[in-house]
Amino acid sequence: MQEMDFPRAPDGAVVVSHRKDADGISSAAMIRSLTSAEIFLTDYADMAETLSRIKNCKELFVCDLGLNPTTFGAFFDELQRLRIKEGASVHYIDHHPINSEYRSKLTVAGVDIYHSTEECTSVLIYTKYLENLKDSPKMKILACCGAITDYMDSRLEARKLIGSFDRQFLLYEATVLSFSIATIGRGGKESNRRLIELARDLASGKLPHEIDGASEYAQTYAKRAALLMEKIRDEGVRRKNFAYFKTRESATGNVANFLIGAFDVPVGVAIREEEVGFYEISLRSREGSSYDLGKIVGRIASRLGASGGGHPNASGARIRKSQLEQFLKMLEEELSKS
């Protein structure tokens, strides 16, 4: 990335958010609209590396990035560097389950934590900065997009926000945004830069449907999704309580959801080879299911010495390739007993 493309915000604000979905991108855009922050997008695998690239930061916002045993140490070291060496104040805004040890370490370090598992991150940002955002209908729309695409649109605050717009319009905006993110996310080395551009456009007041190329991105994704659904039907593997499929898709959550429909099972498991030797696994459960996938996957991962966890209906893990059969067997056992 050319430094020149993204001039630093005059007040030295920086937002680091999740690059994978509409909640993360919307969060970055909302913070930028409030602070003109420079945007960095990241994912769990490169979170600490991304933070290490931040210099001259006076105010740091970390959004939609859950903390887990694999990432916390290096993440915390980078926060400390920014706090102590750069004198940055740090805000951590997130909705993934957080363990009490991490919470107290962040609190002791003076991090401003705004956390709840009740609403998605972009809705949390909207409520935290309500006074500054309440006159920005476009930021409100982005918060709704985050809630819809994170499957958190039935939550209390999200419902209030969504109820103030035409629902179909919001569904369209949310879908165009998430399909665009999924298409751009496949763009290799260029994709991070283009996602940052997308977030900057949203911050400046463009709606998802006004983004350059948005309808083509969405159309491209819809076509691929239809093909993918057929392929999943043909090549997915059904086990007792779940079905799985190996994929190169970056939107593994969608793949997991397609599996649930294609095989009429309560849980879908998408398995993605992200780096040599490792699988990134995404799990989703059918709406109304009583499984707590976050806890189940957390237990399996810790028994395998791997990392994993998440929400009751959406979770993930990263395991060594050689552990896949073991992982699937443990999952079968866990799902049979709960």
Of residues 18 and 243, the one with the C-beta less far from Mn ion:
18
Q: CB of 96: closest distance to Mn ion in angstroms?
A: 7
Question: By CB under 5 A, is residue 292 in contact with Mn ion?
Answer: no
Residue 94 touches Mn ion, criterion: CB under 5 A: no
Rule CB under 5 A: say whether 64 interacts with Mn ion: yes
Tokens at 142, concatenated: 């982005």
297-336 binders of Mn ion (CB under 5 A): none
- Nearest alpha carbon to residue 161 among 136, 138, 137, 144: 144
Window 180-219: residues binding Mn ion (CB under 5 A): none
Query: Does 280 sit near Mn ion (CB under 5 A)?
Result: no
Structure tokens at 268: 């879908």
Tell how far CA 19 is from the center of its chain. Answer: 7
Query: Which residue type occupies 93?
Result: I
253, 256, 257, 260 alpha-carbon torsion, rounded to 10°: -170
Region from 21-29, 134-142, 277-285, 329-337 binding Mn ion, contact rule CB under 5 A: 21-29
Q: Which stretch binds Mn ion (CB under 5 A): 15-23, 69-77, 130-138, 277-285?
A: 15-23
In the chain, what's the furthest Cα-to-Cα distance?
A: 57
Give the binding-site size for Mn ion (rule: CB under 5 A).
Answer: 5
Position 47: which residue type? M
Of positions 38, 59, 150, 334, contacts Mn ion by CB under 5 A: 150
Q: Which range of residues in 4-12, 29-37, 62-70, 74-82 is near Mn ion by CB under 5 A?
A: 62-70
Q: Which is nearer to Mn ion, 27 or 33 (CB)?
A: 27
For residues 97-136, which are near Mn ion according to CB under 5 A?
120-121
* Smallest distance, Mn ion to C-beta of residue 245, A: 23
Distance of alpha carbon 166 from alpha carbon 205, whole angstroms: 19
CA 261 to chain centre: 22
Place of tokens 């370090």: 109
For Mn ion, which is the closer residue by CB, 12 or 91? Answer: 91
Query: Cα–Cα distance between 111 and 83 in angstroms, integer?
Result: 9
Least separation in angstroms between CB 152 and Mn ion: 8
Shortest distance in whole angstroms from residue 289 CB to Mn ion: 19
23 is a site residue for Mn ion (CB under 5 A): yes
**Beta bridge pairs of residue 271:** 246, 281
Helix/strand/coil percentages in the chain, nearest 5: 55, 20, 30
Binding site for Mn ion (CB under 5 A): 23, 64, 120-121, 150
